[in-house]
Structure 1
Amino acid sequence: MLKIGLTGGIGSGKSTVASMLEEYKYTIIDADTVSREVLNKYSEILEKVRIQFGDNFFDWRGEFRRREFGNHVFRFPKERKKYESIIMPFIIKEINEKFEQLEKKGEHIVILDAPTLIENNLHEEMDMVILVWVDQSTQIQRIKSRDKLSQNEIINRINAQMSLDRKKDYANFIIDNGKNLIKTKEQIDDLVELLRLYEK
């Protein structure tokens, strides 16, 4: 089974590219979905978060205040690394289990959609890495129009990830998603033609 890592950055349009690839019937594991699933599945994660970060990120009912916590860890890189050291082992475990299950089902190609694929060294487990790239001004504009975040929150979230230009060094295939959907679709068609070589 061919394992493909799909990555990008906040506001790069990676989810749009993933949706386009799904139209070609490729199976996709969404790392963001997995990260939400593990919070519900493993109660020890939030217990560790409470111990490490305190009660401020939980409301009076004990519910996790996800957005407030997200803003906090994106503002302070050391805090983000502390959180990732708690949650990433659970995420990686779940992702590996999903890959194993899909291989047993006979899947030939599975795509892991992960924004921090490279930052967390998951690219080392992939047979191919696809990068969805845009320039930073496009990133900022897209995030502004999509999310209710301040300029500082946007910059903090962009800076919390490796720059898209640096990620180019790790990519086997780059999709420039800074133009229009027609241009993006043309690049995806080229990618699909390449992947079909692996399926033969």
Structure 2
Amino acid sequence: MTGGIATGKSTVAAMLQQLGARIIDADALAREIVEPGKEAWQEIVSAFGREILRADQSIDREKLRKQVFEDQQARKRLESITHPRIRTLAQQRIQQLAAEGAEIIVYVAPLLFENQAHLWLRPVILVACDLAKQKRRLRDRDKLTEGQIRQHLKAQMSLAEKRKLADFIIENN
């Protein structure tokens, strides 16, 4: 399952989980792979500097986010470190849940199409909403400025493009 930022993926995932689906969240996997001392953590600190670390040595995601949203090359560098590891971990978790007998496994990934995961995962559900609603949610939830909202939206494939690739669309207005 995929969707743009602030389209309601987490809400839909929670509903599916209540109905018995097993959920794997790419954002949670991303946090897991960058825990202090892990290989991805080491590569990120090497690439972006120790100034992105908190006192407890965890990555300050807001500091890192500021660096990568302002610099496309930096974002590509970060993605080259994290995305392959997230994909590998997701595949391992899917196999584990399938071996445990899970009937429905939902992988929730904001960048599912951008990372070509739709080539090995089907069917793909898109959670979508209109642009005004999406922007309002970003302002209310994340307290972002209009400029920050534009940056976030620009960093992802448009919902119009995602609609063309999805097998099912949930309108979440």
The two structures have a TM-score, normalised by structure 2, of 0.93
Q: Quick check: 1:48–1:86 contact (8 Å CA) kept in 2?
A: yes
The separation in 1 between residues aligned to 2:63 and 2:36, in whole angstroms, is: 21
Query: Which amino acid is the alignment partner of residue 161 of structure 2?
Result: R
Q: Quick check: 2:24–2:106 contact (8 Å CA) kept in 1?
A: yes
What RMSD, in angstroms, separates the aligned Cα atoms of the two structures?
Answer: 1.6
CA displacement at 1:53 relative to structure 2: 1.8
Q: For 1:111-169, what per-residue CA distance to the aligned partner results, in whole angstroms no more than 9, with x for missing partners?
A: 10111111111111112000011122211101111113222222111110101111011
CA displacement at 1:171 relative to structure 2: 0.4
Query: Which amino acid is the alignment partner of residue 75 of structure 2?
Result: R
Alignment pair present for 1:73 and 2:68: yes
Match of residue 154, structure 2, among 149, 152, 159: 159
SS at match of 1:56: helix
Q: Quick check: 1:75–1:153 contact (8 Å CA) kept in 2?
A: no
Query: Which amino acid is the alignment partner of residue 27 of structure 2?
Result: D
Relative distance call for 1:42 and 1:161 in structure 2 (3 A) is: farther
Q: For 1:81-126, what per-residue CA distance to the aligned partner results, in whole angstroms no more than 9, with x for missing partners?
A: 1101001121111111101111111122211011111111111111
Larger Rg: 1
Question: Which residue of structure 2 lines up, in the alignment, with residue 102 of structure 1?
Answer: 97
The separation in 1 between residues aligned to 2:54 and 2:23, in whole angstroms, is: 34
Question: Which residue of structure 1 lines up, in the alignment, with residue 130 of structure 2?
Answer: 135
Q: Quick check: 1:71–1:153 contact (8 Å CA) kept in 2?
A: no
Relative distance call for 1:40 and 1:60 in structure 2 (3 A) is: closer
Match of residue 15, structure 1, among 10, 15, 29: 10
The count of aligned residue pairs is 173
Gap runs ≥5 in structure 1: 1-5, 179-200
The separation in 2 between residues aligned to 1:49 and 1:37, in whole angstroms, is: 14
Relative distance call for 1:145 and 1:136 in structure 2 (3 A) is: same
Question: Which residue of structure 2 lines up, in the alignment, with residue 45 of structure 1?
Answer: 40
Relative distance call for 1:139 and 1:100 in structure 2 (3 A) is: same
CA displacement at 1:59 relative to structure 2: 4.1
Q: For 1:40-76, what per-residue CA distance to the aligned partner results, in whole angstroms no more than 9, with x for missing partners?
A: 2762212211222223312455442211111221232
Q: Quick check: 2:21–2:103 contact (8 Å CA) kept in 1?
A: no
Gap runs ≥5 in structure 2: none
Question: Which residue of structure 1 lines up, in the alignment, with residue 164 of structure 2?
Answer: 169
Identity %, equivalent residues:
38
Question: Which residue of structure 2 lines up, in the alignment, with residue 112 of structure 1?
Answer: 107
The separation in 1 between residues aligned to 2:10 and 2:66, in whole angstroms, is: 21
The separation in 2 between residues aligned to 1:169 and 1:83, in whole angstroms, is: 27
The two structures have a TM-score, normalised by structure 1, of 0.81
